[in-house]
Structure 1
């Protein structure tokens, strides 16, 4: 037998044994309390995970964002995979909750349901005070929800942009809705971007981006997408997608796609070929999600500009350093020599699905915390994954969820933002803030206000501000006000 034929036969034999082999009874997976789960996290010295929210305040969280006053909005996909067959997933009983720190002590102590009766909400963009733009599954339409009486609940709904229906598997639909430094609003999957103008929303064509769940931006406005289905990891971060999709093979350090989880149960949609034996852990990318670039000021400077994304099937968060090789960005796992990761957990229900830069200068991690993470299409009757799910009773752990704050021994408490009550001139000052969240949010609010009284201050800042990031934001803010001029470039 030829060597190639022999290898193929062995691979086929191994896979068939995994598909039809023995799945002995094991103790069912058990959900841990948040306090118990906190003890399972493995992090570099000095770092820790602090609980921000958990059930019953939230269930099945998938997205976390903040408005100009630091209030936190959480999209909760409450119908996602509540049983092994995904029955009732498209019932409109999901919601977006709002959480407020009423006394500035860093604890979100007031909880309201801002919008309910939603069908698997997947994108949130905060605008003015008491306003968020929301996208639900199976549609590209964007609706603006407004709380007109300041009771913490939206009482007005308007069509913000009409995109029309969007079908397909719910895992393979757009995410993001990120208002970027260039004042364009980006999403994954879509070959277009949106732009807010005083006269309405403008659609601008781009090239494809190959992204799926999650979208982040660095300090210079470069967007970072991530691809799970193709097991690719981060994609389309080399150049703006308006110019094309560029993903060279050497944009990753050798071995970058290898994962080093702390625990696993062979519950991978890729089957036995994705299992690292004898540990039973995930060997490579499978579910990259919730990507962002750390831009805060309350974690060690060594993290600034690093890319973070979840690998929920692997129960870990990958940190990637961004190197430069002759102008080409190259991602590398700094823990690869130790065969480790920045954050991993031995809890089989840890499912990190999103990363968010926060007003307090730290990084928030949205943990869907559940047994089965894959959608019903990947657990069909008779499939390898379904047998593992049934073996561990993963489908019985649902209706939970946590939001965590990544902190460090050096993290300090900072003041809450109160941007909605500030003058436009005060917002301009935030364009020099060391935390990227403050710069982005201030720029967005200035553009939304269309207050051209600050144009002279912005022009001066664009020319002479000692902080180059403040100069960049000043230029783009002028562009958003329709006041940019060639003389400034």
Structure 2
């Protein structure tokens, strides 16, 4: 009973400040002016609950087109700038190597940045910035390499560049669909937002681990105190995805993992520049009626805001000019995110150019906002000539609003910011251990990372004591969060042993037991019978989190005892939705993999290679809207795109129609049903690229389709016979007789 009580209290929500009920949403302008405002004017246009206020940290010309930031262990801020992003509606000269990583500092302690240097110059739209000790990892658009930059002479400019992960493949995806973040997580793996790789940093390089499913997050990644990751997908308008289990165990989502209201923004100005046009807007006030570009999510884990804000989920919506706040609830092991406010958002701006695209908990305990402050916030595939958005951009001259950018912090009147400047890079490991107890998660995370990077074995005895709940060198007895950090730091140092592990498995706190089960995989992968025996004792654990982790950690183990534990768990808890669904998905995934391997045995090597290439493209790009098995996205209340599994347009003998759809794009009703998004034209891709992805979706057991492959020369033949709209504009398709044809010309019928 005590363990169960602790589990419930872990997720108790503090009482909300009554003052927050007094603020109301008011739409101030249905068709707002688009002229840029000064930072001070822009702040005056922001509406938050009483008690909160926004402070300026940096603005142009110090920062321009900021998209991401990160602090090193000494609290210095690295900012990634995309200064060639959408300078016009067609994305002209977008990939010129002129973007930068800047290093910002507050030298006088007044809370505003007053010094900057260009840490790295001549980059192509940098999208990832992750400090690791005295180096900074950077990833650019269109490249899958990851580089390390280091300043070796103290002038705040990188003079050393090393490749830490090599992948020669060019990333041909739209820049919105490429990796949008890197995070060193509690389990000492570095996770990106997309694809099926995660990394361990060892001996100066990133060693990749291939996961069974692709992660489908887009821009931004965050975690909670215990290492659960949270992703979001802007394309289908999903503010939270892949939040039920770690991605290494496979993709798992539920329709109701966030409430329908949480995907509804409440802007305070008209959002006429929404890509969806009138259908995306409320008729009464022109405001955005659904999420279309959610990104930059974070869980507030600081200590200088109201207690009821700690552990809440914040996500930016740059088209709506809002930041939404959600309450994370654990319902018997299932994570659900609910609205904190009804019919309004935590932050809403009446400044047309306010474009929040990332949020963070800062070392001072405030919540930071990266505001790109840009006129155009949609890629050219959706904003070119002939599109609704393209016409709005030209009409309002939004292309003129660029070259700016702001970084803000949100503070609260009842709390003073932490004035202690971090100095972790210059402090001994013994001091870093004490930060594992810091009330601000930023300090705890960085202390763990630096301890693992330094690999200083002298702190192992202290960490062992802390992991087991002893005070050791700390000021007070460690709580479960500090102990989880200690356990994972031991794992990262290669210092976990069975004595500590077994005591943790028997601990009174469910989060300690769950963490110990997770860490035990280092033994179960070696079929350590003693460890598996200890794990077997947890199959009746009162915590759903512990039981789920037990099933996840043992289900790939081939020993009879491990198999029996998983079988017993599934039989004993038939109503555990997460465990049952996760195992069902696990079995189905392996069945499909085996079936696919068997099926392709009878396909020519040439066709097999084409389908394999198409599978990679589909999993990296198309799953965003069509789902990993082609059944559509089933998270939330809106399906962004039609299912591909069993589609008559893919299973038939007609090869021209699917090629035409790829060339022109698609929007409008399909089989009598409306979908939220439009598919942009893929005419800019190569004939082989189009042939590969079509061959996969037409001829994959994953999607249940069995049709012939489409070869590159067949794509070329269709390309040569049709007149594409300049800029690859998307056309609306209508149902006509046996299929779909463009409204502009029914060329296939004519031929």
Q: TM-score, normalised by structure 1?
A: 0.92
Describe the shift of the 1:63–1:27 C-alpha distance in structure 2 as closer, same or farther (beyond 3 A): closer
1:484 counterpart = 2:484: no
Residue number in structure 2 paired with 1:316: 322
CA distance in 2 between counterparts of 1:260 and 1:106 reads: 31
Equivalent residue of 2:301, what SS? coil
Residue number in structure 2 paired with 1:376: 380
CA distance in 2 between counterparts of 1:95 and 1:467 reads: 41
Alignment check: 8 A CA contact 1:316 1:344 kept: yes
Pick aligned residue for 1:431 from 423, 430, 436: 436
Residue number in structure 2 paired with 1:14: none
Residue number in structure 2 paired with 1:91: 96
Pick aligned residue for 1:233 from 228, 235, 239: 239
CA distance in 2 between counterparts of 1:476 and 1:259 reads: 37
Pick aligned residue for 2:106 from 101, 109, 121: 101
Equivalent residue of 1:84, what SS? coil
Residue number in structure 2 paired with 1:346: 350
1:417 counterpart = 2:429: no
Correspondence 1:376-395 to 2 at 5 A:
376-395=380-399
Alignment check: 8 A CA contact 1:192 1:203 kept: yes
Residue number in structure 2 paired with 1:18: none
CA distance in 2 between counterparts of 1:107 and 1:392 reads: 33
Residue number in structure 2 paired with 1:38: 43
- Consecutive unaligned residues of structure 1, counting only runs of 5 or more, are 1-25
Equivalent residue of 1:416, what SS? coil
Alignment check: 8 A CA contact 2:267 2:322 kept: yes
**Which has a greater percent of helix?**
2
- Compute the displacement of 1:271 (Å): 2.5
Equivalent residue of 2:442, what SS? helix
1:472 counterpart = 2:484: yes
1:331 counterpart = 2:337: yes
CA distance in 2 between counterparts of 1:90 and 1:199 reads: 29
Equivalent residue of 2:460, what SS? helix
- Compute the displacement of 1:188 (Å): 1.2
- Compute the displacement of 1:463 (Å): 0.6
| Mean CA deviation greater in 387-396 or 37-46 | 387-396
- Compute the displacement of 1:28 (Å): 5.9
Pick aligned residue for 2:412 from 408, 411, 414: 408
CA distance in 1 between counterparts of 2:261 and 2:128 reads: 32
Q: TM-score, normalised by structure 2?
A: 0.60
Cα-to-partner distance string for 1:272-331 (whole Å, 9 max, x where unaligned): 211111211100010011011110111111111111111001000011101222221111
- RMSD (CA atoms): 1.3
Residue number in structure 1 paired with 2:596: none
Cα-to-partner distance string for 1:12-65 (whole Å, 9 max, x where unaligned): xxxxxxxxxxxxxx8961000001001000000000110000000010000011
1:457 counterpart = 2:465: no
Describe the shift of the 1:199–1:378 C-alpha distance in structure 2 as closer, same or farther (beyond 3 A): closer
Name the count of aligned residue pairs.
461
Alignment check: 8 A CA contact 2:32 2:270 kept: no
CA distance in 2 between counterparts of 1:282 and 1:254 reads: 15
The structure with higher relative contact order (CA 8 Å, sep 6+) is 1
- Compute the displacement of 1:439 (Å): 0.5
- Compute the displacement of 1:386 (Å): 1.2
| Mean CA deviation greater in 275-284 or 162-171 | 162-171
Pick aligned residue for 1:195 from 191, 195, 200: 200
Alignment check: 8 A CA contact 2:240 2:258 kept: no
Residue number in structure 1 paired with 2:685: none
- Consecutive unaligned residues of structure 2, counting only runs of 5 or more, are 1-30, 471-477, 502-751
Cα-to-partner distance string for 1:444-467 (whole Å, 9 max, x where unaligned): 111110100110011011012432
Alignment check: 8 A CA contact 1:28 1:393 kept: no
1:152 counterpart = 2:156: yes
Alignment check: 8 A CA contact 2:271 2:320 kept: no
Correspondence 1:43-442 to 2 at 5 A:
43-129=48-134, 131-164=135-168, 165-198=170-203, 200-206=205-211, 207-336=213-342, 339-414=343-418, 415-442=420-447
CA distance in 2 between counterparts of 1:369 and 1:409 reads: 26
| Mean CA deviation greater in 322-331 or 170-179 | 322-331
CA distance in 2 between counterparts of 1:105 and 1:487 reads: 48
